[in-house]
Amino acid sequence: MDRIRLTDTLEMSRLVHGMWRLGDDTDTSVGHVRNKIAACLDQGITTMDQADIYGGYEAEEILGTAMTPEIRNRIEIVTKCDIVAPAGRYANARVKYYDTTRLHIVKSVDHSLRLMKIDHIDLLLIHRPDPMMDHFETGAALDEVVKSGKVRAVGVSNFRPWDWELLQSAMTTKLATNQIEISLLHHAPFTNGDVAFHQRHGQPLMAWSPLGGGALFEGRNAALRNRLAEIGTEFDVDDAAVAIAWLLAHPSRILPVLGTNNLDRIARIGDAARVRLDRETWFELYSLALGHEVP
């Protein structure tokens, strides 16, 4: 499994295991969570993607319950903060909102550390751009959590290039990555400037819902699904591996974050790394996703 260096102190596996759906699994027992992590580690997938809000603010605790020193030493933990929704510890919130104040960030970090039973977060992301963000306060808070040693690296999620530049302008720490939605069902970032901006600055992107949250295999685009399956047969992998390989083939160095809870599927995530798509095949899949050939 390839590894990608994001900062001087942080390297992550090219494929990332997402834990948004961890609490939705029919089995959230310690043994099953450990089995899923073990299936990732067997393939060299060492990076786990969390957020404070996942599972109604409970997914971090599910991971924490399964945590052991041995597991902690072998994984990188990404988590996120700034979304406050009326659930769990924010049950009294009147409305869903974003909070990028220093107090919220510092408290969120402490919660995440306690719930996951760890002494540092490898990568903390601001989950959503906050229209009320005071970039000086947020930037200083992110610098502070890195300086304190509680967080190894910081980044953002769902930021547009201008949001990134605003926040980065008020920080000494370099933002490590932007986690955005990219897939064959959500390919606009390849042409709207999002991918180009980070490629220009050499910052690897993390791609969430790289299979469209499963919609890639349910939607109306049978032609795309059939072609994915055909290519999969050529490489002796399943269609999902080909869809992930489509992201891996892009020169901007995308790190797909896969969200399956299915142990068999988790054990096969690494298959995507075996698929090499040439330029023509990349465009063939892109054209099928677009529904027409490129102009």
Ligand X SMILES: NC(=O)c1ccc[n+]([C@@H]2O[C@H](COP(=O)([O-])OP(=O)(O)OC[C@H]3O[C@@H](n4cnc5c(N)ncnc54)[C@H](OP(=O)(O)O)[C@@H]3O)[C@@H](O)[C@H]2O)c1
Q: Which residues bind ligand X (CB under 6 A)?
A: 18-21, 49, 127, 157-158, 179, 208-214, 217, 240, 257-262, 265
Tell the smallest beta-carbon distance from residue 253 to ligand X (Å).
17
Tell the smallest beta-carbon distance from residue 26 to ligand X (Å).
10
Of the candidates 54, 97, 98, 286, the residue annotated as catalytic is: 54
Tell the smallest beta-carbon distance from residue 21 to ligand X (Å).
5
Q: What is the dihedral of CA 241, 265, 67, 61, to 10 degrees?
A: 100
Q: What residues does 81 pair with on adjacent strands?
A: 126
DSSP code of residue 25: S
Rank residues 25 and 173 by Cβ distance to ligand X and give the closer one. 25
User: Contact, 52 vs 79, CB < 8 A?
Assistant: yes
Amino acid occupying residue 88: G
Backbone angles phi, psi at 262, to 5 degrees: -80, 120
User: Contact, 101 vs 137, CB < 8 A?
Assistant: yes
Q: Which residue is nearest to ligand X (CB)?
A: 259
Active site residue 90: no
Rank residues 44 and 212 by Cβ distance to ligand X and give the closer one. 212
Cα 281 versus chain centre, distance: 25
How far apart (Å, rounded) are the C-alpha atoms in residues 249 and 254? 9
Tell the smallest beta-carbon distance from residue 258 to ligand X (Å).
4
Which residues are known catalytic residues?
54
